[in-house]
Structure formats: C-alpha cells, structure tokens
Amino acid sequence: MAAENLLSGAAPVAAVLPAGGSGERLGSTTPKQFCALLGRPLISYTVRALERVNWISDIVVVVSLENIETMKSIIKKYGHKRITVVEGGMTRHRSIFNGLKIFPESTLSSCPLQKPEVVIIHDAVRPFVEEDILLKVVLAAKEHGAAGAIRPLVSTVVASSADGSLDHSLERVRYRASEMPQAFLFDIIYQAYHQCSDYDLDYGTECLQLALKYSKTNAKLIEGSPDLWKVTYKRDLYAAESIIKDNLSQQVCVTTDMKEDAVQFGFLLHKTLKSEVKVKDISVFLYKNDNHLQNTFSGQCYNFICINAEKSDIKETQQLIDILENAKISVLHPVVLISVHLNVSENMSFSSGMEELAGIKEFAREVKKKNILVYGLLIHYNKLQETINSAAAIISALIKDRNPELIGQLLVA
C-alpha cells in the first residue's frame, strides 16, 4: 500500500485526541464529543476514523477525570482497538501535553507505548477525517517538523477596538482558518510543550504556534476538505447526523427467495432504485448464498431488502439477522432491513392481518436491541411500474431516515 511505503521505517505514527472539552457552546450539558448520533457517541466516530488507518499504531484519547469511565465503556461497547485513555488537564493545551507525556513515560507503566516518530493531534469533534489528509500532514511533518490542515475563511475577520467598534478588518485572502488534523515530529512538539509558559498552557489554543515559538519550526499548511470542520454548535450535530445517514444510505443489498415472482420483482426494484435513487451498489441473489452476503458485509453495506413471494415468513428474515449479527455489522451503525412481501393473501381477515402485523412489531422490537431496524413493506399490485416506483421511494425514505420509531410498521406500496 502506498501509505505504508511512504511511511516505511520502524518508527511508528501515533495520534493524540484531546476530548476534554465541555458542552458550553452547544447549550447542552453533555460535552459535544459524547453527544449521540444515531445512538452512538460522536467521539466513537472520530476514534473509528483514526483506528481504521492501519499505519497509526496507537491512539491516545485524553478525557477529563469524570469521563474516563464513560470513555472506557465506549471503547468496550464499540470494540475500539489500540486506544489508551489518559486523564486531561484544565485546558486544551494541558490535555494534549498529558496525552504526549504518556509515550516517554509509558516504559515505566504496565502497558508500554512506543515513542512515535510522528504524532498526529486531532480533535474528538471532527469525525469525518480521511486517511488522505492524515497521510498528508504526517508526511509534511516528517519533512518540515510540523504540519496542519487549513481551510479558507468563511467570514471576514475583524479586530475590534476597546469600545467595541471596528478597528480594522483583515484581508480575507491572506489568512486561513487553522483546522485539524495536525502532525509533528514527536520531539519537536514535546519539547515545545516542555518549554512553553503557564500562560501558553492556560490561554493558548494553537499547537502550531507552540512549535513555531519554542521549536522554531514553521509548520507546513495543508489545504483540507470542508469535512474537517469542528462540531461546535447544535446545528453541527444536525449536520453530522445527516452526513452519517447520507453515507450509510449509499449502498443497498437486495435479497430474494427462490420464487420466480420475488426474483423478478427484485430485478425490477434493483433497476428502479439504481436509476431513481442514488445507490452505489445493489446485489440481487438467492437467499441462501452466504458467500455473496459475506462479501457484501465487507463492502460496508448497511441496508438490506429481503423480497418474499410467500406470506410474511419471519424465519428467513431471522436467518439474515443471524448472519448480520455474526458479522458484527450493526455494532457501529444501525442496519436497515426491509422485509418486502408480495401477493398478500386476498382472503385474510383484517383482524388476522392485524395480528400478524403485531407479530412483526414484536419481532422488530426484539431485533432493534441488536441495532437492526426492521420495517415491513407490502406490495399491493396494481400497475407494476407504478408500484415499483412507489416501493423504491418508500425504501429510499426508510433507508435515509433510519427512524427507530417506525420499526415494525407495515407500509404499503
């Protein structure tokens, strides 16, 4: 892999993730890094974004004393690896310093961490960081000693005079917003923290500035993507949740039973979803073909449509759920499973229909405990293409919303 070649050599890359902040700016009592998005704390998304980068050897998460147990339980629940939890300080800089100290000091501890050549510093509240920008800052840090992601300014920056009037405004093109991730040769940033003043530790916010002031290192500035933004306000939580839902709804897997009707409907649905809704990939295959399903799981598909020609049969759906559970596919994200039923019996009474429906509700409630959201969809044949279009629209809506309150409902296309 390119990244591994570029980073070849014995010295590892580690990451420090300061997560000691309070929730003040969000107007919430929960610090923003612990706010739940689709049921999972924001910090778990950020940890996952670093954890999946295999050339990062250790991730040090720095949290305030009262959140250490919370953080440990998050690590356990979501199966995060290569994480060390460290207690933070009173300020951001003191927390980062605590995170850095763990490396030289860890030879004394029971769980030693190798001192890295390069250390990444990232924010717990920037969950959408990609491997690409991480690699760029690390390589630039190797060359220049320090590097950080920047973005163009969205607003003009102004300086105010003592009386609250405009003193001057900065020319927007000459300045940039300093974002995260940043990366440093470990010795450079560690030395800077050792030498800096209490005033720096208490009132400073910018690691690049410490490297400049105390290690005479002019950091390389690297243009990042808009996705690096910091989740700061409530609206940012809304935005983050929508982005996560959007990402999860890109890929759909369609399974059908052996009946000809189901296979035919599956292919038509496939075609319609592909042309009318943005879905990256759809696999139509027979239900028992586990190998194909396993491939789909490794492709990070979080949406499953099971088409049954027979009347509602929970057994087959249960089988898929077992496979999903074994693959641990729903540990990190809620999985949507839409059970589509063709040819609903004409002679069934409404009350027995209702009873069956109540059964699906009960079933869905149980399965939700595994983070799998089950919805039913009855196909009420009328005009075929119209019905397919309607089914595709409903499926697309269910996948995009991922609404836990509507599980177990039987919708009609």
Residue count, binding to its own copies (CB under 8 A) = 84
Q: Residue written as tokens 């399903």? A: 293
Mask: binding to its own copies, 222-241, rule CB under 8 A, as x and -?
A: ----xx-xx-xxxxx-xxxx
Q: Is 30 in the site for its own copies (CB under 8 A)?
A: no
Separation of alpha carbons 248 and 126, rounded Å? 18
Q: 3-state class of 59 per DSSP?
A: strand
Q: What is the per-residue burial (b if ≥16 Cβ within 10 Å, else e) of 305-333?
A: bbbbbeebebebbeebbebbbeeebbebb
Per-residue contact flags (x/-) with Mg ion for residues 337 to 366, judged by CB under 5 A:
------------------------------
Q: What does the angle CA 191 – CA 142 – CA 176 come to, to the nearest 5 degrees? A: 85
Residue 409 interacts with which of Mg ion, its own copies, none, CB < 5 to 8 Å by class = its own copies
Residue 59 Cβ, how far from its own copies at the closest point, in Å? Answer: 23
State the Cα–Cα distance between residues 278 and 413, nearest whole angstrom: 20
Burial 107-117 (b: 16+ CB within 10 A, else e): eeeeeebebbb
One of 323, 353, 368, 370 touching its own copies (CB under 8 A): 353
Residue 93 CB partners (closer than 8 Å, separation 6+): 193, 196, 200, 201, 202, 204, 205, 207, 210
Q: Binding of its own copies at residue 396 (CB under 8 A)?
A: yes
Q: How far is the CB of 21 from Mg ion (least distance, A)?
A: 5
Q: Which partner in Mg ion, its own copies, none is near 166 (CB below 5 to 8 A by kind)?
A: its own copies
Site for Mg ion in 56-75 (CB under 5 A): none
Binding characters for Mg ion, 103-132, by CB under 5 A (x = yes): --------------------x---------
- The total number of residues shown for the chain amounts to 413
Minimum Å distance from CB 293 to its own copies?
A: 27
Q: How far is the CB of 144 from its own copies (least distance, A)?
A: 7
Answer yes or no whether residue 349 interacts with its own copies by CB under 8 A: yes
The site for Mg ion, by CB under 5 A, has a size of: 1
Give the CA angle between residues 224, 227, 119 to the nearest 5°.
55
- Report what 289 binds from Mg ion, its own copies, none; CB cut-off 5-8 Å by kind: none
CB of 157 to its own copies, least distance (A): 5
